[in-house]
A = this chain, B = another copy of it.
Amino acid sequence: MSVTDELLTGAAEYATRFDSGDLPLPPARRVAVVACMDARLDPQALLGLSVGDAHVIRNAGGAVTEDVVRSLAISQRLLGTREIVLVHHTDCGMLTFTDDEFRQAVEADTGIRPPWAAEAFAELEADVRQSVARVVASPFIPHRDAVRGFVYDVTTGALSEVG
């Protein structure tokens, strides 16, 4: 039995106790969260979000890439969100390599150099500021006056703002 099959068993149980089938498409709390994909980070649980409350956007590092700008533009322009919360975390895999190392390893294995940067970073708080700065600089995100960045500590569960 694959892990995916095991997850489907969980999904079947979820449906039996499901009771929130009448929620509207726009997020109730008008906030979009951008967080790392890390397995130890559960943004909904961490931030006390209920089903229907917020858009949650996640990728490797929680980096504000072009695709995150796309998602935030859609979130704000079409679905009414107004605030943005960025969450990076301690012990992030993106701290363990450089973009050049990653690109060279991929090219060595596949013969093809990725046309994108891996978005690795060397200093956690600086990368949170980088992500905030990218949001604030984007002309495609209409509402940029409530954008705040945080670091989640995977060993204590604490969330700290990066000023």
Contact = CB atoms under 8 A, between A and B. Distances in A.
Interface of A: 2-4, 6-15, 18, 20-23, 25-32, 37-42, 44-49, 51-60, 65-71, 73-75, 77-79, 82-83, 85, 91, 93-94, 96-97, 102, 105-106, 109-110, 112, 114-116, 118-119, 139-140, 142, 146, 148, 154-159, 161
Interface centre among A44, A70, A140, A154 (most CB of B within 10 A): A70
Given A25-B91, A38-B55, 9 more contacts: A6-B29, A15-B158, A25-B40, A28-B39, A37-B55, A39-B51, A60-B71, A60-B74, A66-B116
17 contacts: A4-B146, A8-B159, A8-B161, A12-B159, A21-B155, A22-B155, A25-B91, A37-B56, A38-B55, A39-B54, A56-B58, A59-B59, A60-B70, A65-B70, A70-B114, A74-B118, A114-B140
